[in-house]
Structure 1
Amino acid sequence: MTDVVVIGAGQAAASCVARLRAKGFEGTITLIGREDVPPYQRPPLSKAYLLGDMARERLFLRPESFYADNDVSLKLSQEAASIDRAAGTVIADGVAYPYDHAVICTGAVPRRLPDTLGGDLDGVFTIRTLADIDALEPRVRAGGRALVVGGGYIGLEAAAVARKLGLEVTLIEAADRILQRVAAPETSAWFADLHRAHGVDLREGVGLKTLTGEDDRVTGAVLTDGTELPVDVVIAGIGIMPDTTLAEQAGLEIDNGIAVDAQGHTSDPAIWAAGDCASFPLGDTRMRLESVGNAVEMGELVADNIMGAGRDYVAKPWFWSDQYDVKLQIAGIGAGCDRVVVREGEGGARSHWYYAGDRLIALDAMNDGRAYMVGKRLIEAGKSPDPQAVGDPASDLKALLKA
């Protein structure tokens, strides 16, 4: 009988085990997770869950009974300590789990503020796990003063929720503009205006010099421009790093994450990787995508290939972000863009279309689901509509698909 051991209990892992059983896999499946809850959604944690709009059980990707019903051995609150490649076992909490196929889905870990800047003070948080949000929730009360460090999507979403909860919010971004790494200046400016309109004190080109505290609890912040702020809670949204520790210890190839081939194999053909921790080939380079869509698609890819499909991964990047009453939907990757076409939609909707030369490569759509769906289909089909037609709000979006 074939044994599959999946390490990590996030979206990629859950997708992998569910796909294996759906495809008729009859071997043993063991799913090892370090947290004490079954696989759950991460995106709602810092939004609906923190706001109290989503119950804890609704976060779960599947009810816990699903794993027993599908003969998946769910090992929670266990840390996979090592992979013994020679013996073909995964060691977790002193138990050796044999495998014919091991799947590493360890995800990513948040970057933390250094202790030298006060990152070890009580009241300083990152946003990644259910435990992170449960610890943060009692500290975000109306009238409190929050400092958000980092103007990426995590930081912006945290700022939006903090404002909804009634906190005074200052957000600082050391780069010249928010979202500088992932979005065009037009999108950065649009979201900066949105947050300022909702009362966020947003400061670009300003970093954190140090946090100050009393009795080991954060009470203030000194910024790089010399400003001193009183603060009650600090949220660090300064990015994530692929969790490659286990793979490194096992001697697997690492290249911007755990390096896998087009089918999900690591440098050891018996070991696979999927999700935020894995980088895959894309043309002459490698890519690592931090998104739910990628985690689901890679998890299912690995399951299919364990079953012998021999399928290559074709990435179709898409992302989303919810801030206040705005749903941002993103298709494609904007790297290499040299022109952005702005299209105004109805009722304040708006979309930004990224071109590299004459080629459409990405799209940001703010409260414009129709533009998003059309743009996503165009990008995936390799079609590039005339920029002038795209920018004309009177032009028919659907007609772009036929052009």
Structure 2
Amino acid sequence: MSAASALRGGDGNSTKLEVSDESLKNHPKIWKWRLEWLGQTGFEKLAGILPGRWAFRLGEVLGGLAWYFMRERRQIVMRNLRIAFYGERDLPALRRLARDSFRRTAANLLSALHTASLPVDQVGKILSVENPELLEKALSDSRGLVFMPSHMGNWEILTRMNRMFPPGHASGAFYRPLNNPLLNERVVAQREVDGTRLFSKNDSLHNVTGFLREGSLIGILADQRVGMQGEPVRFFGRLTRASPLPSLMARRSKSAVLTMSLITDPPGRWRVIYHPVDRPLKTADCMRSLEIAMKASPVDVFWLQERWKVYINRRRTIREWLGPDPCGEGKPHRALLWLSGAPADWRLPKEWTHPDVIYEIVLAPGQARPSWSTGEEIIHTAPVTNDRRKLGKSLVAIDESHALPVDYILTAAASETLKKASDRESIPLVSLPHPS
């Protein structure tokens, strides 16, 4: 028996929690893990009892309630949508889409709990494929196939669609192990019950490429943000970093790549649409196709993670994060150079400039434009105050003065009030020391 194991029925679901590893029994988080396990199991049991359509509708109700209470997540969703659909939809339309996506995301998440224990012969009744011929052609032209679904629709059901693939092809998927080992084993068992082989980030790429060369299919969710290990590319026109893994594996194994849309159609049922990826199958090619897949049904996309977050701090400049190459024209980054309350002689450091970043200057009321200003910068005013609410309102007004959101604030010796205001509005702040 493994470290965190459970007695399972034939469907791969845990029916009783047992912990055999002594090191886990005495772990300080064991009771937290057990409570999370019980909560997950309870929700799955509830979702499993309900008819699929009812589970979906209940999720919509819960998502509608969450919209009112999850302020920070609302901000993240709106930020993502403002970037993704810049120039395509106005702010009122994006707010409607954001609210609808909250409801749809909760519905899809609750539906995932329902379908996790669904008998395998029932999966085909709620999941269909619109263009299976694209998959068949891709497999006939290459050794294997790399799938690139996004966090869209009921994405967990994709590990259960083995029977929809041409016979003779094994399937696998990458997954990130959960921090809770009890839940992790339960989830792994559910995903493997239909024959899907799971690979984690700790597995050797040689094993994965060998799996593909055997004519297998493997899925990688590569739509969400990555850190410095990612490759700078444009995604929805915005320069960011994306995982090079799908491109790397496909080229090493000489496999084809398809992206996937997973669309709710109707509630409680989902439809897969495959999309081709242009050669030479570089990361930029993969991300362009993934963008098309996500735009097929934006309301089904999981927008609750900040996709275009900039990983910057005092020691990592925007140049390092975005890379030296702007990767062509697209949607620029919008940053605030906060001079209101900053030392009078402070100016934008050279290492914080980048061709993809447009700085707007924030001055105190009555403060003169700095002598080094070109006169072309957008100027905003914000008070020098200890009132966080007042400063926060100014920050919101500045952020909403343009269709694109503010990506970060750069200043020197930031006040605690500014730090708290930027934190509440989920806008990264880098406060550089003032040179003595």
Give the TM-score category using the shorter length.
Answer: under 0.3
Q: State which structure, 1 or 2, has the greater radius of gyration over its C-alpha atoms.
A: 2
> Bigger relative contact order, structure 1 or 2, given CA contacts below 8 A and separation 6+?
2
Higher normalized strand content (fraction of residues) = 1
Give the TM-score normalised by the residue count of structure 1: 0.25
Give the TM-score normalised by the residue count of structure 2: 0.24
